[in-house]
Structures are given as C-alpha cells and as structure tokens.
C-alpha cells in the first residue's frame, strides 16, 4: 500500500493510478474538462496542472502517476491564473446563454467559470453560429457549445468501440462529426448515450430532455436497470411524476458509468399512456375497468372456488424475472403456502435452466463463477453462444477493454458474424446445435497436445479418465463433419485456450436454449476444469443472464423443485424448516416446469393460472400451441404494467407498477444483490406487485403483512443460506455478491476458489446429439433466433419507446446472399417463413452475417413473431426448449 498527500489530505492507494483518478475517487475535484475516469489520460485542456513538491514546474494530474510519498498541491496563485486564462479562452467561443441552456447547473464549464470568477471573456475574435442538429431521434447536438475536449470521440472509440464520433475539419473550424443518423448495422452509432454522459457542457444532450426541466428541479433516485442481467446502476432524474433523464455514477459497479441504448433511452415506457391504471375484468369478451375491491374479490372467489373444485395441482403460477426478489419470494410462497402446489416457474426456464442444472451437476452451484470486472485479468476469453455486444452491451465493453487495452486474445464460437467477431483472433462459425462436438474436439486437441492442467485435475476434480476417453473419439475430421469448423481453426482455438494462464468463458442462450442445453453447459464445465481455469480472477464460467432479475427470481425459489436458496422441495428437513417458518403445510412433490404447465393447460390438466409479469403468448416456443393452452384455461389472472399479448387473454388484469414506482432488489448476473428505489408514485391506480400478492394471499385466508420490502428481504435472509447476510443497510452502496451467509460476510466475488461447492468438480461424459429437428427436403433451412441491441425480449417495453422505434421499427430475417439468389429474393422483399408449427412473414436482410443454409430472426416483434416457428422440444434435464434450432421453409411472399 502506498500513500500520497493531495492538498494535505493523506490517501492510501494500491497499483498505479493517476493523481487525477486518485483525487476524484477521494472527492478532491481537480478541474479537468477533458477528463473522465472511464477514459485514457489525454492532457488536452491543461486545466489539471498541479504542483508536485520536490519537482520543478507544473504537472498534468490526469497523466501523472501517483507515487509513494508524493505531495500534491492542486491550487495556488500561479495555477489559478493559468486556469482562468484557459477558461476565458474556452468561453470566448462558447454561447453565454446559460439562462436558457438545459445543461445549466450541471455544465462543468459554467461551474468552473463560477468557481474562478470569470464573468465575461477578455478575448474578442471570431465565433461560430451553427444550427442545432436535431435529426437523430435520440441525441441532440449543439456544436456552438462544444469545447472540443474530445471526450465523446474517445468514449465512443475507447469504451464502446463504435467509432461513430470523430473530429472533422481543421483549426478554428474543427467540429465533432457524429453519425447519429445511422445504426449499429451500418457500423456506427449504437445510441448508448455514453457520449452524452461524458460531454461536460451539454453540446450533446438527450433530445427528449430539452426544455423539460432545469437540473435543480429534478429529483435523483439511484436504482438498477430493468433490462438485461448486467444490472447497470442508474440514476433516474424525475420531475414530479415524469421521468426526464437517466444518468449514471462513474464510480459504481458493475457498469462504472457506462450504459447501452436501453438503459439510457429505454425508460420512457414508465410514463407511456398505455400503462394500465385500473384493474380490468373481462365481461362478454371485452375488458371493462374495475376497482381494486371488486377485482381482488373476483380473483379470490374464483381461486377458492376452483381450488375446491379441482384441488391444488390444477393451478399454476408464472412468476417474473422482471419483478424484484421480494416479489418473487412472495409469489412462490403464495403458490406453495396458499395454493398448496409447487407448480411455480418463470422465464428462467426459457433462458438458463440448463445453466442451473449443468453447473450444479459439475460444480454444485449453478451461477456465474466470477465477477464482470475479472475479465480484465483474462489473457484468453472464449465467447460461445453469446451475442454479447447486443444482448449484454456493458459486459461487451469490458471484454473489449481486455482485448484492446490489455492484449487478451479472443475466441468467438458462434454461427453468426456478430460484432465481437470483429475483435476475435479466432472465430469458429459452427453449425447451430453442434456445440458439444466442437467443445469435445477442442478438449481432445488440448489433451493430445498435453495442455491439460494435471495438478488441478488430480487435486480438484473427479471423473477425468472417462471424460478423456469419451472426447478422444472427437478427432478433427469427425468434428469438422458435424460442425463445419475447419480442422485448422479448431487446432488454433484449442492451443490458444489450452495455453492460457487465465482463460474465461462467457456464454448465453446460444448454449442453453437447446434440447441438449445441459450437455452444452457440462461440456463448458469440462473444458474449464480440464485446463484449471476456475476459481481465480480472470478465469471461470460466466453465463450471462438475460433478464434483469432472472438470477434473483431463481435464488428466491420461483422454481417448481426448489425453495429459496436452491433448497430442494423433496428434502423433508428443508420442507419442515419452510413449513415452520411459513406456519403451514407444504406440498411434497416437485411441480411442473413452464413448458410442462403450458402443455398441461393445453390438455386440460391445468385449469387456472396466476401470471405475474410474464408474456408467454410472445416468449414461449410454438406460439400457436401456447395460445391454444391459454384459451383452454378456465380462469386466468394476469398482473402486468401493459396489456401484453398474454394479458389480453386474461379474465382479470391487475395493474402492477414499474421498477420506478417501488422499492426492492434485483440480483444481477454476477450474483450481486442490488437495490431498486422508488422514484415516483405508482401510475394511476396501479400497485406494487408485492402489495397485490399480499392482498390476494390475505384475502385467501393466509396473512401476508409486511410494512416494507426490507422486511421481506429479512425473511428471505433468514430462510436462504446464500442470502443469510443480505440486508438493505448492507447493500445500500454497491450491493453484495452471494453466497453471503452471515452479517459479517463480505460477499463472494469468485466461486469455487479452494473447493467446489459440491467438493470435487465432476467431469461428465457428454456425447454430441443432433438438434431435435433437422433440415430436410421440405424444410431446408435452419432457423436460429435471438436479440437485437435496441429491443428487449417480447418488445413490451422497448417497442413503446418512440426514439428507439424510429431507429429499429421492425425485425428483419437475415438470409445469406447465395440462399437469397436461390430463392429468388431481393433486399427488403417480404418472405414467408414456415416451420412445422406455423408460418409468419417478414422483410428480408440479405447478409453474410449468416452462413448458407442458416436463417436468423429476432423474436421481439409481434407482427413477425418468430416463436410461432420455434420448436418446443425440451432438454430432458432442464426442460428448456430448443429455441436456437428448427427446420424452416423460406419463400417469397405473394398476395
């Protein structure tokens, strides 16, 4: 540990931070208009000049490293005079229209001018008068305000790697040239808004914020992003009931100030006029507005009646990965303790059920092993089945930082040419569904070249010899035949991963959403253990969770076979513990999983349902079958914030609140339990979901009375060993990563450091099994589905954001040029996509992002609902459906 004095304040530090970073992190604000903690030192504005005792002259704090025993003086007469001149020069070509400027109060130039007492400029000369640029749907640019600090240019290229912003022209006419009119697909702006977050003066500004409130009128509420599992920390800026802007804190994990388009611009759904404001009851096929009393009485009376008529196992509940831990906990408690069934599940079944199953089998714990930040310590990173840049953008920024700035090597295994392949040293474009063959082939090569970690295998694992014998069958020719991956590329990937000091694996739904999803995860676990890449910084297996709280809703027991904390419902001791805590008897058998519930509804085995915040009528595979199942139900209650495709099919719709209107916690993909905080009052007559569940439960005769969500978390902690030490007071600042078993435990950033949760890590024998449906004469293509950067899941939220919809208004189907020629279609043609389960139409994008024979389609768009086509074939262990591969016919649409 070293120490430094800045303005007589003694600061201890590790590593080699700059003086500027150290000062800002410790609340000492040395002026710096070209400085941002997220960026590399630049030294352009010269405002950060400081005196260093014992050294002659002044030094730039932003590019001078702190040294042990250094003494820094940040202000004296000479320094102040220099700063005044610099500020004066900047103001000489800056509009002094602070009285009407939206950035007033948060403008760094204005604040420094005030601090240094500059009332007007001493310098006269030319000045500019550019037109404000408002052509982008999301970002406004006022070149007149720009001070050419270069922060936007640098954040775009250094952090986001979009390089959409550049300097243009020369000298006095230099401007910022930003490609805000274009999209990721044309290789430029991704509308992440990080340029706005770093702009010190308001030259770049959210278009929707203009004229809607001065800084001091806005309330700030720190919370967690509602979209993906990264769990970015946000600050909601609200005025009254209106959301005005979203900003961040650059010093807080996990995102350290960075966001993607959804986090920055995707929150206007909160105030959207379509928000449900009153309960709805369907009468003669039409919804009529009701009041809470009537709606809740109807729900409770029907539940009681049907419980009596059919018994508990004809009931099922879908909980929600969009809702908080507290709400999911109460929901599963309601289903188990009140409805007396374990038929409770949620969309984790559709995205990472195979992760939970596979990693639990191999390691004893089914979660991301490492922290996001750890990737900076990796020297090789393997991404497989994850379109990281579009689905988990802020993690992609971190991976790209490791690759670009720290020299890490990147292997991408993905059938599509995704953004990350631009940075890959090796890209294996395998055939969808051939992951096990490719991974077995890589392991076979690693073993044949002696690159396995014998010490790790011997001391930390079991089952190696049989696994080794199994993968020995997967020689290069065999693997190439199955996967299409050239032998040489496979060798290169095996050597690179096998020789790494620290190698990490990142994966997502491209691995899990297969009928062999658990096998795929087990293969990755085999690969990590084979090379000893587990239990240290920069290593590990990192499943990237899709929804904001899919990790948490699993953690707190919204699963048919597990109580909170992954405690088995089949274990009588655990059941007894829960019965005692909840004061009631509990069902003994594991419940049905999500797709099994839909099948049971279709066949009449499930008769009534309570669905909170899920949209199976868009998100589940084989949608025609799902619609039939929902229609077949006798009584359906849907709790949501919009009238989703599923809500339209309900008998009663209860209006819940968005994340901005309630307190609670989400758990992100790296197991970090983080707060969400209420920023505005519930919209209309909506109510927080946890209060609705409590109300229904109490009316059903099982008292649920909590005064706050913090009290619910205390109950979770008391019953859930991995959350034992979690409380609101402890997670106030940066959250805590589970396992956190007691109040003194600091949380666990890395799992399996000394031993695996199950003791020894277990190698499994995994054979390649082809996908459930293969192309044939009639259905000649493979359809694979996924996400786009700008939209999320079933589109319920992002498709209500006008600015985002202007950029990506609809989904296109990607087809390789050679296939397009064969089918006889041109760019933008409408095509029919037909699988054995249904057909849809969509506009075509002809692109070499997909290989011949493969077709890609996003699933966010109800007009071209890709899940009409997908296959509900299940992984036998995790019961996750095979979204990623089905056989497809494609032909030109004609009226």
Would you mind telling me the total number of residues written for the chain in this entry? 895
Site for ligand SF4 in 194-233 (CB under 6 A): 225, 227-228, 230-232
In angstroms, the CA 241 to CA 851 distance is 49
Q: Taking the complex as a whole, how short is the minimal distance between the CB of residue 666 and ligand SF4, in angstroms? A: 10
Shortest CB 619 distance to ligand SF4, Å: 17
CB of 263 to ligand SF4, least distance (A): 2
* Shortest distance, position 611 Cβ to ligand SF4, whole Å: 24
Q: Does 263 bind ligand SF4 (CB under 6 A)?
A: yes
Q: Which sign does the torsion angle of CA 729, 556, 363, 521 carry?
A: negative
Backbone angles phi, psi at 549, to 5 degrees: -130, 35
Residue 393 makes contact with ligand SF4 by CB under 6 A: yes
How far is it, in rounded angstroms, from Cα 597 to Cα 842? 30
Q: Which stretch binds ligand SF4 (CB under 6 A): 56-64, 252-260, 316-324, 458-466?
A: 252-260
- In the complex with ligand SF4, the residue whose CB is nearer, 461 or 553, is 553
- Determine which residue in the list 262, 468, 860, 889 makes contact with ligand SF4, applying CB under 6 A: 262
Say if residue 48 is exposed, middle or buried (CB neighbours under 10 Å; 0-12, 13-18, 19+): buried
Interatomic CA distance for residues 263 and 393, integer angstroms: 10
Q: How far is the CB of 402 from ligand SF4 (least distance, A)?
A: 17
Enumerate residues 6+ apart whose C-beta is below 8 A from 94: 109, 144, 145, 147, 201
* 228 vs 880 by CB, closer to ligand SF4: 228
Q: What gap in Å lies between CA 486 and CA 476, rounded to an integer?
A: 8
Q: List strand residue ranges (DSSP E) for 592-706, in order.
A: 608-612, 635-640, 652-655, 664-667, 672-676
Q: How far is the CB of 393 from ligand SF4 (least distance, A)?
A: 5
Nearer to ligand SF4, 209 or 793 (CB): 793
For residue 287, the surrounding DSSP H or E stretch is strand 286-289
Asked if 386 is part of the footprint of ligand SF4 (rule: CB under 6 A), the reply reads: no
Which conformational region is residue 760 in: left (phi greater than 0), alpha (psi within -120 to 50 degrees), or beta? beta
**Contact window for ligand SF4 (CB under 6 A) among 391-399, 626-634, 710-718, 846-854:** 391-399
Q: How far is the CB of 232 from ligand SF4 (least distance, A)?
A: 3
**Smaller CB separation from ligand SF4, 88 or 734:** 734
Contact status: 259 vs ligand SF4 (CB under 6 A): yes
Residue 613 in the binding site for ligand SF4 (CB under 6 A): no
Radius of gyration of the chain (CA): 28
Tokens for 21, please give them: 């970073």
CA torsion angle for 136, 139, 142, 143 (degrees, to 10)? -80
Supply φ then ψ for residue 597, to 5 degrees: -65, -45
For ligand SF4, the closer CB: 191 or 781: 191
Cα–Cα distances in angstroms (integers) from residue 139 to residues 136, 495, 605, 757, in the given order: 6, 45, 52, 48
Shortest Cβ distance from residue 176 to ligand SF4 (Å)? 24
Closer Cβ to ligand SF4, 546 or 682, answer by number: 546
Q: Give me the residue whose beta carbon is nearest to ligand SF4.
A: 263
**Nearest distance in Å: CB 395, ligand SF4:** 7
CB of 230 to ligand SF4, least distance (A): 4
Q: Which is nearer to ligand SF4, 227 or 474 (CB)?
A: 227
CA 823 from chain center: how many Å?
Answer: 37
Beta carbon nearer to ligand SF4, 133 or 734: 734
CA distance 385 to 405: 24
By beta-carbon proximity to ligand SF4, the closer residue of 401 and 715 is 401
Looking at 348-407, which runs of residues are DSSP E strands? 380-384
Q: Tell me if 397 contacts ligand SF4 by CB under 6 A.
A: no
Cα 287–Cα 291–Cα 297 angle in degrees, nearest 5:
95
> In terms of CB distance, is 263 or 510 closer to ligand SF4?
263
- Contacting range for ligand SF4; rule: CB under 6 A; set: 27-35, 258-266, 587-595, 694-702: 258-266
Query: Nearer Cβ to ligand SF4, position 197 or 343?
Result: 197
- Min. distance of Cβ 234 from ligand SF4 in angstroms? 7
Q: Does 647 bind ligand SF4 (CB under 6 A)?
A: no
Q: Which residue has the tokens 């209106």?
A: 242
246 is an interface residue for ligand SF4 by CB under 6 A? no
Task: Compute φ and ψ for 169, nearest 5 degrees.
Answer: 60, -175
Residue 751, C-beta contacts closer than 8 angstroms, at least 6 positions apart? 363, 365, 367, 369, 370, 535, 540, 757
* Residue 248: CB minimum distance to ligand SF4, A: 9
- Residue 228 or 493: the one with the smaller Cβ distance to ligand SF4 is 228
CA separation for the pair 407, 437 (Å, rounded): 29
What does the alpha-carbon distance between residue 772 and residue 330 come to, in Å, rounded to a whole number?
37
Q: Which is nearer to ligand SF4, 101 or 260 (CB)?
A: 260
d(CA 514, CA 615): 21
Q: Please give the size of the binding site for ligand SF4, defined by CB under 6 A.
A: 14
DSSP 819-879: HHHHHT--TT-EEEEEETTEEEEEEEEE-TTS-TTEEEEES--GGG-GGGT-EEEE-TTT-
Q: Using the minimum distance from each CB to ligand SF4, give the nearer residue, 319 or 548.
A: 548
Stretch of residues binding ligand SF4 (CB under 6 A), selected from 83-91, 260-268, 420-428, 685-693: 260-268
Number of Cβ within 10 Å of residue 792's Cβ equals 24
* 66, 146, 267, 394: residue in contact with ligand SF4 (rule CB under 6 A): 394
**Contacting range for ligand SF4; rule: CB under 6 A; set: 23-31, 254-262, 444-452, 705-713:** 254-262
Smallest distance from the beta carbon of 724 to ligand SF4, in angstroms?
27
* x/- letters, 846..875, toward ligand SF4 (CB under 6 A): ------------------------------
Closest CA relative to residue 323, chosen from 315, 334, 314: 334
List of residues contacting ligand SF4 (CB under 6 A): 225, 227-228, 230-232, 255, 259-260, 262-263, 392-394
């Amino acid at each position: 540990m070293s120490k430094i004095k800045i303005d007589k304040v003694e600061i201890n530090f590790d590593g080699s931070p700059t003086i500027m970073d150290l000062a800002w992190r410790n609340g000492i604000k040395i002026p710096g208009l070209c400085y941002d903690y997220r960026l590399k030192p630049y030294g352009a504005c010269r405002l950060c000049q400081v005196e260093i005792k014992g050294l002659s002259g002044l030094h730039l704090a932003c590019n001078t490293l702190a040294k042990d025993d250094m003494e820094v003086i940040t202000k004296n007469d000479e320094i102040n005079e220099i700063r005044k001149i610099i500020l004066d020069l900047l103001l000489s070509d800056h509009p002094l229209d602070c009285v009407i400027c939206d950035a007033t109060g948060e403008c760094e130039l204005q604040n420094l001018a005030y601090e240094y007492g500059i009332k007007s400029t001493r310098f006269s000369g030319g000045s500019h008068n550019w037109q404000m640029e408002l052509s982008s749907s999301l970002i406004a640019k006022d070149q007149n305000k720009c001070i050419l600090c270069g922060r936007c240019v640098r954040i775009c290229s250094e952090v986001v790697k979009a390089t959409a912003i550049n300097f243009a022209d020369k000298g006095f006419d230099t401007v910022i040239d930003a490609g805000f009119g274009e999209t990721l697909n044309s290789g430029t702006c991704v509308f992440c808004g990080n340029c706005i977050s770093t702009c010190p003066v308001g030259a770049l500004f959210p278009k929707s914020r203009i004229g809607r409130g001065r800084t001091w009128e806005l309330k700030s509420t720190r919370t967690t992003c509602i979209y993906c599992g990264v769990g970015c920390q946000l600050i909601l800026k609200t005025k009254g009931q209106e959301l005005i802007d979203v900003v961040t804190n650059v010093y807080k994990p996990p995102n350290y100030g960075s966001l993607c388009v959804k986090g920055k611009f995707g929150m206007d759904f909160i105030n959207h006029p379509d928000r449900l404001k009153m309960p709805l009851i369907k009468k003669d096929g039409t919804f009529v507005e009701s009041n809470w009393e009537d709606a809740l009485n109807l729900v409770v009376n029907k539940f009681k009646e049907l419980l009596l008529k059919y018994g508990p196992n004809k009931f099922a509940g879908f909980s929600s990965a969009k809702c908080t831990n507290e709400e999911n906990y109460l929901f599963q408690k309601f289903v188990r303790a009140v409805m007396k069934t374990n038929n409770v599940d949620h969309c984790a079944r559709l995205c990472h059920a195979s992760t939970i199953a596979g990693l639990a089998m191999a390691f004893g714990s089914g979660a991301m092993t490492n922290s996001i930040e750890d990737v900076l310590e990796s020297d090789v990173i393997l991404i497989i089945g994850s379109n990281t840049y579009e689905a988990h953008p802020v993690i992609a920024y971190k991976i790209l930082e490791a690759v670009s700035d720290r020299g890490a090597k990147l292997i991408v295994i993905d059938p599509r040419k995704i953004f990350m392949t631009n940075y890959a040293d090796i890209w294996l474009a395998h055939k969808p569904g051939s992951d096990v063959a490719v991974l077995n082939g890589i392991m076979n090569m690693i073993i044949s070249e002696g690159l396995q970690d014998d010490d790790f295998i011997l001391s930390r694992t079991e089952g190696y010899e049989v696994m080794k014998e199994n993968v020995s069958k997967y020689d290069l020719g065999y693997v190439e035949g199955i996967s299409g991956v050239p032998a040489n590329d496979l060798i290169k990937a095996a050597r690179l991963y096998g020789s790494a000091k620290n190698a990490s694996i990142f994966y997502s739904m491209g691995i899990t959403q297969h009928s062999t999803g658990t096998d795929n995860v087990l293969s990755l676990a085999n690969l990590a253990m084979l090379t000893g890449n587990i239990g240290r910084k920069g290593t590990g297996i990192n499943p990237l969770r899709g929804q904001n709280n899919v990790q948490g809703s699993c953690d707190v027991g919204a699963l048919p076979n597990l109580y909170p904390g992954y405690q088995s419902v089949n274990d009588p001791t655990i059941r007894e513990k829960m019965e005692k805590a909840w004061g009631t008897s509990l069902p003994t058998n594991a419940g049905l999983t999500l797709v099994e519930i839909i099948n049971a509804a279709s066949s009449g085995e499930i008769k009534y349902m309570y669905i909170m915040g899920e949209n199976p009528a868009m998100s589940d595979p084989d949608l025609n079958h799902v619609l039939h199942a929902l229609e077949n139900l006798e009584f359906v209650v849907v709790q949501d914030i919009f009238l989703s495709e599923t809500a339209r099919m309900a008998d009663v719709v209860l209006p819940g609140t968005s994340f901005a209107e309630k307190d609670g916690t989400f758990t992100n993909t790296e197991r970090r339990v983080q707060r969400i905080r209420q920023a505005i009052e519930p919209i209309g007559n909506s109510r927080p979901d946890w209060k609705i569940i409590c109300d229904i439960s109490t009316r059903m005769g099982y008292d649920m009375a909590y005064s706050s969500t913090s009290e619910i978390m205390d109950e979770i902690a008391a019953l859930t060993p991995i959350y034992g030490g979690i409380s609101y007071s402890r997670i106030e600042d940066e959250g805590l990563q589970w396992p956190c078993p007691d109040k003194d435990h600091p949380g666990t950033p890395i799992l399996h450091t000394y031993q695996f949760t199950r003791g020894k890590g277990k190698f499994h024998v995994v054979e390649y099994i082809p996908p459930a449906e293969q192309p044939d004469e009639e259905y000649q293509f493979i359809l694979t589905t996924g996400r786009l950067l700008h939209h999320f899941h079933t589109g319920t939220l992002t498709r209500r954001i006008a600015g985002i919809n202007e950029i990506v208004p609809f989904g296109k189907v990607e087809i390789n040029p050679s296939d397009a020629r064969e089918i006889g279609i041109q760019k933008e043609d409408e095509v029919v996509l037909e699988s054995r389960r249904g057909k849809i139409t969509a506009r075509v994008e002809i692109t070499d992002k997909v290989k011949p024979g493969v077709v890609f389609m996003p699933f966010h768009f109800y007009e071209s609902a890709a899940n009409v086509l997908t296959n509900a074939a299940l992984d036998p262990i995790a019961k996750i459906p095979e979204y990623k591969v089905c056989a497809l016919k494609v032909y030109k649409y004609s009226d």
